Structure 1
Amino acid sequence: MLSVGDKFPQFKVQATVSNDLKNAFVEIDNNTYKGKWLVVFFYPKDFTFVCPTEIVGFANHNQAFVDRDAQLLTGSTDSEFVHHAWRTHHKDLNSLPFPMLADVKRELTSALGILDKEAGVAQRATFIVDPDGIIRFVYVTDLSVGRSPEEVLRVLDALQTDELCPCNWHQGEDTLKVA
């Protein structure tokens, strides 16, 4: 699995961005959000139980990520058409404010090293990528355990200070100073 300090891999995938079939799909690659922080979080499958709770959790914090010049991207190995059907028919996902990446060829999940060996789907993995394309944070949980968008936001805040941040540090608190 790629880790902190590694370059986020080159990718080009279809993404679902709307419920309106006329403009539901776009191609997203490394240059789409050039110069921004990326928070890319993968989940195992559409039409499941834990996954929508996480996606909604991140959606509820979307503005906080935007305020930090960070773009949220979510994705799985499902197709853009499956993403579209799920968005359209799941009331909590109906108006997602960020793209759903379709890694149907499993190229991005494989390059990241997060393709689950047993299930053959994306692991529940989150990457914070800085504007230079360097992975600065990796967070992976078991397929059955949801993650905390608040923790990802807290870490993004800490990374953006470019200072030493103690345990449980939150935005606005003092950072550590080396004496």
Structure 2
Amino acid sequence: MKNAILSVGSVFPDFKKNAVVSTEKGKEFYEITSEELKNSGKWTVLFWWPKDFTFVCPTEIAEFNRHNDDFSDRDAILIGASTDSEYVHLAWRKHHEDLKDLRFPMLADTSKSLAEELGILESSEKIAYRTTFIIDPQGIVRWVSVYDLNVGRNVKEVLRVLDALQTDELCPCNWQKGEATLQN
């Protein structure tokens, strides 16, 4: 039976996974844990892509990287993830021009356990759907967005939603940071 996609209001599950954080010899890998993220006191934006060495995925990863400072400015930790291994992530970063200078970790869910627990594991190929989670500092999922495998997401929309969530106010349709919120 397939798990339902983890939804808004859910506690993000505990995990401990290896990630690629650098291409520098001896500094490539780092273990990321859910506990570390919760203890940071920051928001987390965790975005998943289906496979390394593909076509749509690097366009998204590069765009998230271009906006890394925007996430940092919002006290958000940005993490990318797929079900590929940390070694595949490293090889891809070394050989793809747009990925060489990433400033966020590439999490490796090699066992596929986290993707399965999140309910985002595609059934036939056992790869993750293009999914983005915004998780608040208390470890609660505040936004989930899932895209078909063939469609890239809009990073500016992720930032817009993060901005809206961080206001803790009512934000109307198409609201942008700096605009008035609604009074109830």
Q: What range is the shorter-chain TM-score in?
A: over 0.9
Q: Equivalent of 2:50, from 44, 50, 53?
A: 44
Give the structure 1 partner of residue 82 of structure 2. 76
Structure 1 CA distance, aligned partners of 2:25 and 2:108? 16
Q: For 2:98 and 2:36, how far apart are their aligned partners in 1?
A: 26
Equivalent residue letter for 1:30: S
Match of 1:129 in 2: 135
Contact 2:14 2:35 in 1 (8 A): no
Q: Return the alpha-carbon distance in structure 1 between the equivalents of residues 127 and 25 of structure 2.
A: 26
Instruction: Report deviation, 1:20.
Output: 1.2
Say if 2:14 is the partner of 1:16.
Answer: no
Is the counterpart of residue 59 in structure 1 residue 65 in structure 2? yes
Q: Alpha-carbon deviation of 1:32?
A: 2.3
CA distance in 2, matches of 1:32, 1:62: 19
Query: TM-score by structure 1 length?
Result: 0.98
The aligned residue for residue 115 of structure 1 is 121
Matched with 1:30 is 34
Question: TM-score if structure 2 supplies the norm length?
Answer: 0.95
The equivalent position to 1:142 in structure 2, one of 148, 157, 176, is 148
Q: Which amino acid aligns with 1:75?
A: A
Listed as ranges, the gaps of 5+ residues in structure 2 are none
- Give the distance between the partners of 1:50 and 1:32, measured in 2 at CA: 30
Q: In structure 2, what is the equivalent of residue 171 of structure 1?
A: 177
Q: Could you report, residue by residue, the CA deviation over 1:132-160 in whole angstroms, capped at 9, with x for unpaired residues?
A: 00000000000000000000000000000
Alpha-carbon offset, residue 118 of structure 1: 1.9
Query: C-alpha displacement at 1:17, in angstroms?
Result: 0.3
Question: Number of residue pairs matched?
Answer: 178
Question: Normalized per residue, which structure has more helix?
Answer: 2
Give the equivalent residue in structure 2 for 1:87: 93
Aligned-pair identity (%): 60
2:165 maps to what in 1? Answer: 159
CA distance in 1, matches of 2:91, 2:25: 10
TM-fit CA distance, 1:31: 2.2
By how many angstroms is 1:119 displaced? Answer: 1.9
Q: Which residue of 2 aligns with 1:6?
A: 10
